[in-house]
Amino acid sequence: MCCRIGRSVSYKKKIANNREEWFCVIDPRREKEKRMKYSLRKKPFKKSFTASSPRSIVRSAPVAVLLSTWMLTMIVPVLLLLSVRDRWLESLARPEVQENWESFREDMRKQSGLDGPVQRKVRKSDEPPARVWLRDYFWLAIAAWLVLGTTLFACFGVLFVGVSGTYRWQHVEPGTLKKTT
């Protein structure tokens, strides 16, 4: 099993200590051959690049873009809501808003007694729903934003990395190794 990223690959067999091992030579034309140890007893699935190679920088760029976009997407809306919350609560505490809510509830009571395909229910709360949400369920909404947003972003991140082809691993079956002498 050897991983390949668009380079020519050859395999060399080495017998040491009565143990047969295969080496995956990434670019045989170079003087210093990069080798990945392949043992028939162990079946590792290794990447064929090192952290210091210039290709790994290119490969980590989409991941870095995804992580920075995720951080902005998770932090900016929460900070905006935190900064606006107090002003919204003050504006919803005014008597005009409470009067509008009471008149809406009265209209609902009048319409609930009428016959029709839809029966309206009168809201039990004495306060507008936006005020209740901002006061009682604000932190629950932020937690839901973080959990659901992270889950959705992780799914799209996996799709993005897969489609962009940043990690291409080619699996070579053990029985199909080319033996070079």
| pLDDT tens digits for range 59-103 | 577 778 888 999 999 999 999 999 999 999 999 999 999 999 999
Q: Is the pLDDT of residue 121 over 90?
A: no
Query: What pTM, to 2 d.p., does this model score?
Result: 0.53
User: What are the residues facing 20 on neighbouring strands?
Assistant: 15
Structural contact between residues 145 and 78, judged by C-beta atoms closer than 8 angstroms: yes
- Torsion region of 165: left, alpha or beta (phi above 0 gives left; psi -120 to 50 gives alpha): left
Sheet holding 10-16, edge to edge: 10-16, 19-25, 35-39
Inform me whether the pLDDT recorded for 125 exceeds 60.
yes
State the pLDDT confidence band at 42, using cuts at 50, 70 and 90: very low
Per residue in 143-160, pLDDT (tens digit) is: 999 999 999 999 988 888
Whole-Å CA distances, 75 to 3, 81, 136: 38, 10, 21
Q: Give the residue from 174, 149, 129 showing the smallest Cα distance to 2.
A: 174
pLDDT higher than threshold 50 for residue 49: no
